[in-house]
Structure 1
Amino acid sequence: MERASTTDGFKVLAVAIRREPWIFTLSTVGSALFGALTVADAWVLGWSTDHVILPAFRTGHIGPGWLVAVVALFVAVAIGRAVGVVARRLGAGVMQYRMQAHYRRAVTRQYLRLPLAWHQAHPTGQLLSNANADVEAAWAPIAPLPMAVGTIAMMVIAVAQMFLADVVLACLGMLVFPAVIVTNLAYQRRASPLITRAQQLRAELSEVAHESFDGALVVKTLGREGEETERFAAKARELRDTNIRAGRIRAAFDPTLAALPDIGVLVVLAVGVVRVLHGHAAAGDVVQVGYLLTIVAFPIRSLGWVLGEFPRSVVGFRRVQHVLDATGGLAYGDARLPGTAPGDATRGARLEVDAVAFAYEPQQPLLRDVSFEVGPGRTVAIVGPTASGKSTLTTLMARLVDADDGSISVDGVDLRDLAPGALAEAVAMVPQTAFLFDDTVRGNVTLGGAYADDEVWAALRAAQADGFVAALPRGLDTRLGERGTSLSGGQRQRISLARALVRRPRLLILDDATSAVDPEVEQRILAALRGATGGTGEGATLVVVAYRKATIALADEVVHLDGGRIVARGTHEELLRSSPRYAELVNAYETETDHETGPARSEADR
């Protein structure tokens, strides 16, 4: 397990200082002012004793001028220290929160840039932890940093006065510093592995919770609440125990660090008494060195606060940096698709798939030499058995990932040459699993886009969703709940379809996006999409991953995919006559669909 060293901790802090130099300077100056004036308290006290208090005892009288001077000095020092505290804490807080905000934005931008394959290889809980807990941990030492740096001024002044008073006693007092270093190294060695494990467990715990919430329906219907609770509890107990072990080490480290200066004071006083008895030192010098060593204790403690955060900080920074250093983002060109002006939005796009090959694992190709064309305004159905590569092909056409070989073009432009956002202006994809946000119907359809309600209702009508939306308590303003749990599966699919239609795409890709809708409603939806009753507009191109025979029959052409290759192309009727494998497949699907749906299909999907 990789350890976090003190050097690594200072490197992390250097990143923050380089990014926020002025805020760091402000907070450090404030801390230095506080430290210098804390030492100045001793001078003010001594000056007041020599010039005001002792003469008053001798004469029995205090002059008003001297009294005002003493009060003014103490007030000035107090005000200066207050200003230093405000500057130190304000600067440290601003610096810490700005660094957290910057890295959260950087991690989020990286998540958006990285391809879908990268996200599929990393658990959701880990991604949440990287953007939240790890970022917070990385910059936790910033809060005590300005105090630790600023109080070095206090320490330098105090140490200098110690050596001026008595070199021998000062050298004894300085032994505190190597003791602090040794203590910190021991702490780092023991605490770093535990803190690393704790950060990983936080991500794993988030992943278990995320899976449990997402799979609540499965968990409850199969009566697995107890097992799922125990799975979460086991991770929670392991995280608890790891944090407790780390906390025990920290609990020993903090008081040890606090006790070292006090031990140094006792050693100085013990040796100082011997030196006074032998006439090698004055009693006042011993007291002065002892007092100054107590002043040095505060900078040592503040350094200890920074050092104590280093293991967690380094671990968090490494985990965040792992995300920021990830490679594999999609490359873009600067081309735009022709005919994407608003007036051309109803013209269908030409899709060309040329010798496409793709594999998730190098030795297990999923698509091989796939080639076909879809003319503008035509409808093509992609049919094939499970695991034949249909859904993967749709993700390639929507450029969620890039093909390993071959190319996919829209209107003669390779998708890899398009500028960022250019493909979304003309192409929309509706996946099989409909995802809805905890928002209103309007918000789920528009996703923040500037669409009028008339456009939203038109998209809902094309998706055959206007009826049940109008019956909702607040119509378009009805909140759908997290993931649209207040709707049926078919209703969620139709809202998801309307989300694509409102953008009036010239190429619409449906990955079995109507599987939860009853066949009659599906027929009306596809008829609308083909322009018979409105929809995306006459001439829009449609690619459908389909299973039902009636749906496939509506397509102008069928592409039969099997084993990652195209084994047949033609109309539905032609393939039924010429391809026994195709006929067997679609007839099997039809039988299974009839068996599953039956005559009592839910009214909510009609």
Structure 2
Amino acid sequence: MRKALLKNKGLIALTVCFSLIVSSGSVLVAILLQRIIDAAVKGDMGLFQQTLIVSIIYVPLLGLFGYLYSICSKALIRGWTVTLRDQVFRGILRRNFEQFSKTNTADYLSALSNDIKLIEENYVQPLLLTLQNVIIFVASLLIMLFLSPLVTGILVGCMILMFTVPSLFGKALQKRQEAVSTQMSVFTSRLKDMLSGYEVIKSYSMSKHAEKKFAQENEIAANTKFTADRTLAMNEGVSGILGSLTQFAVVFIAAYLILTGKLSAGSLVALVQLSNGFVGPVLVIMQNVPRIQGVKPVVKRIDALAEYDDHYYKGEIEPVFHANLQASQLSFAYKEGRTVLSDIDLTLFKGKKYALVGPSGCGKSTLVKLLSGSYAGYDGSITYDGIELKQLDRDLLQQMVSTIHQQVYMFDTDIRENICLYENYSEEEIQTAIQMSGIDQWISQLPNGLSSAVGENGSNFSGGQRQRIAVARALIRNMPILILDEGTSAVDMQTAYEIENRLLALSDLTLITITHNLNPDLLGSYDQVIYMNEGRIAGVGSLEELLEQNEGFRRFFTLEKPVAV
């Protein structure tokens, strides 16, 4: 939060400068009013004309500076919002896969939209208003002391009473604003969940249930917001009553001083005007201080997102992969007491092809995520050419490994950008990737070819077509390691066979394939088959070796069940 404000320090300086000019200038209007009234009462034409000329010049200048202040303050809020959103987004992306997955993506969306809007309305704008009114308050106080120390003293006494109001509402409002932020995050999460499950809702006639659930969540979110608004209204109401009483006190005391001949009529008008510039700012400050205090938990949450530091990754060594990737005594648990992998010893050599097989839930995907640096907090070691993974630069490591996921995600743009991912590749590189992935078999039939829109998450194409695009996306980067995480599960067996055969033919590519497709022709083409069971490596070897020597793998491969004893 502070960093976002400091990044816009030039605009802050201009805003404060214009605020000082406008606030002080608006207070000095009271002196002009005093001079006009006194000139009229005394019949002093010279003073009247002089004041008129000054006013004709003064008022437009004040309006001009007011415009400049308004422009600068809005530009400051815009710059701050853009900077803070950018910092929060960068903080989210700094998380490793494990840390990112611990938080619902709806919470991130809520932070980037609802929370930042909440801070803008209840922190930045009130802060600017408070600053402006502090200047008006101080300027009014100094002029009032000059005109009537007695009236000023009484007014200050009333102000002390008024300043106690924010302390009565600050803590209550803080709790309610925190509740609003939390509930909006829950609301966004529920809404995202229902919209993402649209097909299930329609397929199973769940529309009425979904409507009822949405209405409940909508009502809860609205009620939580209304509870906070009620506290704000109470604070503003009490402040308004105290402000009105104070202004009446000023008018009656000043009128009494006129009756006793101790004050001029012009001074009365000036004091009434200044009391507005004295009491009004206090009211604004009283109304906004609780809002600023109330949003502090939200600010703290945003700061935590923006300033996130992935302490697991401090490595600065540039990774290399000329020989092997090795795991030794590797163990990993998502949560304490829930071990996923135990005592993994594995060596993968450059240019070799490995098939990772085993029952669902045995830890295959977790293992490849660890090897590629997506997860941290493991026991044991993972080394690239003898250098521990935690010592390696994570960003550079990610540039060595391509992954074709089972659930392919497509950005809502065209095919070309979903392959290139906004990087520059030559037309020759693009065509090679297209041919190797098999996209060329149907891309020519599209009116716009590679410029064809894929739709939201690739909705314009079939699962098999999306998976081929994902294969092209991985191949075009020509990285030394390719992970195929059930990457051909959405295509027919013949197409899957063709894609994997093409990948197996790349001599410099180290291929790690997670598969449930136990096609003996394909598995027989891999240098080694790694069989996993219950978080451990239960066998490593060629397909023939495992079938001959490993009873567990043989039962898994032939779908046999162990004989009960």
- TM-score calculated relative to the size of structure 1: 0.84
What residue in structure 2 maps to residue 402 of structure 1? Answer: 376
1: CA distance, partners of 2:367 / 2:512: 11
1: CA distance, partners of 2:556 / 2:16: 74
What residue in structure 2 maps to residue 123 of structure 1? Answer: 104
Match of 1:553 among 524, 529, 551: 524
1: CA distance, partners of 2:97 / 2:191: 22
User: 1:345-400: per-residue Cα shift (whole Å, max 9, x none)?
Assistant: xxx86332222211112322211121222333221111111111100011012111
**Aligned letter for 1:30?**
F
What residue in structure 2 maps to residue 225 of structure 1? Answer: 207
Change over 3 Å in CA distance of 1:287–1:85 after alignment to 2:
closer
1: CA distance, partners of 2:319 / 2:250: 81
- 1:398 touches 1:427 (CA, 8 Å); kept in 2? yes
1: CA distance, partners of 2:148 / 2:36: 24
**Aligned letter for 2:105?**
T
User: 1:406-437: per-residue Cα shift (whole Å, max 9, x none)?
Assistant: 32333444333333432233321112211111
2: CA distance, partners of 1:329 / 1:109: 16
Which 10-residue stretch deviates more, 541-550 or 164-173?
164-173
Change over 3 Å in CA distance of 1:421–1:115 after alignment to 2:
closer
**Aligned letter for 2:59?**
A
1:557-568 correspondence to structure 2 within 5 Å: 557-568=528-539
Structure 1 residue 282, shift from structure 2 partner: 4.6
Match of 2:513 among 544, 551, 569: 544
Structure 1 residue 529, shift from structure 2 partner: 0.6
1:14-413 correspondence to structure 2 within 5 Å: 20-51=8-39, 54-55=42-43, 67=49, 69-140=50-121, 141-271=123-253, 279=260, 282=263, 284=265, 288-304=270-286, 306-307=288-289, 309-324=291-306, 326-338=308-320, 350-402=324-376, 404-413=378-387
Structure 1 residue 122, shift from structure 2 partner: 0.9
1: CA distance, partners of 2:171 / 2:128: 25
- 2:31 touches 2:270 (CA, 8 Å); kept in 1? no
1:402-481 correspondence to structure 2 within 5 Å: 402=376, 404-481=378-455
1:501-512 correspondence to structure 2 within 5 Å: 501-512=475-486
What residue in structure 2 maps to residue 523 of structure 1? Answer: 497
- 1:126 touches 1:206 (CA, 8 Å); kept in 2? yes
State the aligned residue count.
557
User: 1:6-28: per-residue Cα shift (whole Å, max 9, x none)?
Assistant: xxxxxx7x777655554333222
What residue in structure 1 maps to residue 550 of structure 2? Answer: 579
Change over 3 Å in CA distance of 1:328–1:142 after alignment to 2:
closer
User: 1:451-490: per-residue Cα shift (whole Å, max 9, x none)?
Assistant: 1233223223222232123323321111111111122222
Structure 1 residue 287, shift from structure 2 partner: 5.7
2:176 aligned counterpart, secondary structure: helix
Change over 3 Å in CA distance of 1:499–1:272 after alignment to 2:
same
2: CA distance, partners of 1:578 / 1:309: 71
Change over 3 Å in CA distance of 1:216–1:43 after alignment to 2:
same
Change over 3 Å in CA distance of 1:366–1:420 after alignment to 2:
closer
1: CA distance, partners of 2:52 / 2:270: 24
**Aligned letter for 1:134?**
D
1:439 aligned counterpart, secondary structure: coil
Which 10-residue stretch deviates more, 120-129 or 210-219?
210-219
User: 1:19-49: per-residue Cα shift (whole Å, max 9, x none)?
Assistant: 5554333222322222222222222233344
- 2:166 touches 2:287 (CA, 8 Å); kept in 1? no
What residue in structure 1 maps to residue 563 of structure 2? Answer: none
What residue in structure 2 maps to residue 534 of structure 1? Answer: none
- 1:31 touches 1:147 (CA, 8 Å); kept in 2? no
1: CA distance, partners of 2:184 / 2:417: 32
1:231 aligned counterpart, secondary structure: helix
Change over 3 Å in CA distance of 1:250–1:144 after alignment to 2:
closer
Which 10-residue stretch deviates more, 491-500 or 549-558?
549-558
1: CA distance, partners of 2:138 / 2:292: 24
1: CA distance, partners of 2:55 / 2:298: 44
2:447 aligned counterpart, secondary structure: coil
- 2:328 touches 2:382 (CA, 8 Å); kept in 1? yes
2:164 aligned counterpart, secondary structure: helix
1: CA distance, partners of 2:551 / 2:394: 44
2: CA distance, partners of 1:35 / 1:294: 13
1:549 aligned counterpart, secondary structure: coil
Structure 1 residue 322, shift from structure 2 partner: 2.8
2: CA distance, partners of 1:16 / 1:309: 20
2: CA distance, partners of 1:379 / 1:402: 25
Change over 3 Å in CA distance of 1:425–1:270 after alignment to 2:
closer
**Aligned letter for 2:431?**
W
> Structure 2: 5+ residue runs without aligned partners?
561-565
- 1:138 touches 1:312 (CA, 8 Å); kept in 2? no
1:421 aligned counterpart, secondary structure: helix
Structure 1 residue 442, shift from structure 2 partner: 0.6
Structure 1 residue 119, shift from structure 2 partner: 1.4
**Aligned letter for 1:382?**
L
User: 1:95-148: per-residue Cα shift (whole Å, max 9, x none)?
Assistant: 322222222222222212222221121111111122232233334333343443
- 2:247 touches 2:279 (CA, 8 Å); kept in 1? no
Root-mean-square deviation (Å): 2.9
1: CA distance, partners of 2:377 / 2:516: 25
2:501 aligned counterpart, secondary structure: helix
2: CA distance, partners of 1:378 / 1:481: 37
What residue in structure 2 maps to residue 7 of structure 1? Answer: none
**Aligned letter for 1:480?**
V
1: CA distance, partners of 2:453 / 2:415: 6
- 2:411 touches 2:457 (CA, 8 Å); kept in 1? yes
User: 1:41-61: per-residue Cα shift (whole Å, max 9, x none)?
Assistant: 2222333444578537xxxxx
Change over 3 Å in CA distance of 1:215–1:461 after alignment to 2:
farther
- 1:88 touches 1:146 (CA, 8 Å); kept in 2? no
Change over 3 Å in CA distance of 1:268–1:44 after alignment to 2:
closer
1: CA distance, partners of 2:28 / 2:146: 16
Change over 3 Å in CA distance of 1:243–1:425 after alignment to 2:
closer
**Aligned letter for 1:108?**
F
- 1:356 touches 1:405 (CA, 8 Å); kept in 2? yes
